Amino acid sequence: MTSTATSVPAVTDATFAAEVLGSELPVLVDFTADWCPPCRMIAPVLAEIAAEESDRLRIVQLDVDTNPATQAAYGVMSMPTLLLFRAGEPVKVLVGARPKRRLLQELADVL
């Protein structure tokens, strides 16, 4: 996967605890896979939200094919799964791609 200025940073099994669980801000983790068309559909939406909400929310991506331990630890079975963590705890789970407006509405109560 290539990284561009508009892409969301990636985390791995090795960096998950420090990057997500230890974050001061709430963190939305995008459990994704290269072979997943809905994952590709939601990626630009997440990049936009990450840029607009960077003062209130971190968004990171975790490739489930190369990081199976974290996927298994949180019981993620479908891609994309968006898992919102606050203070190291998962507080919201959203499964499937959705438009930006709907995603922001679904996150409004936890931001």
Structural domain boundaries in the chain = 10-104
State the pLDDT at residue 6: 60
Q: Which two tokens mark 50?
A: 């990450």
Select which of 11, 28, 36, 97 is catalytic. 36
Condensed to tens digits (0 to 9), the pLDDT of residues 42-96 reads: 999 999 999 999 999 999 999 999 999 999 999 999 999 999 999 999 999 999 9
The tens digit of pLDDT for each residue in 1-44 reads: 444 446 899 999 999 999 999 999 999 999 999 999 999 999 99
Q: Are strands 89-95 and 81-86 parallel, antiparallel or unpaired?
A: antiparallel
Q: Is the entire prediction scored with pTM above 0.85?
A: yes
Pairing of strands 58-63, 10-11: parallel
36 is catalytic: yes
Catalytic-labelled residue, pool 20, 39, 59, 94: 39
Domain 10-104 classified CATH 3.40.30.10?
Answer: yes
State the pLDDT at residue 110. Answer: 82
Pairwise CA distance, residues 38 & 56, whole Å: 25
State yes or no: is 64 an active-site residue. Answer: no
Ramachandran angles phi, psi of 80, nearest 5°: -80, 145
Question: What pLDDT is attached to residue 111?
Answer: 78
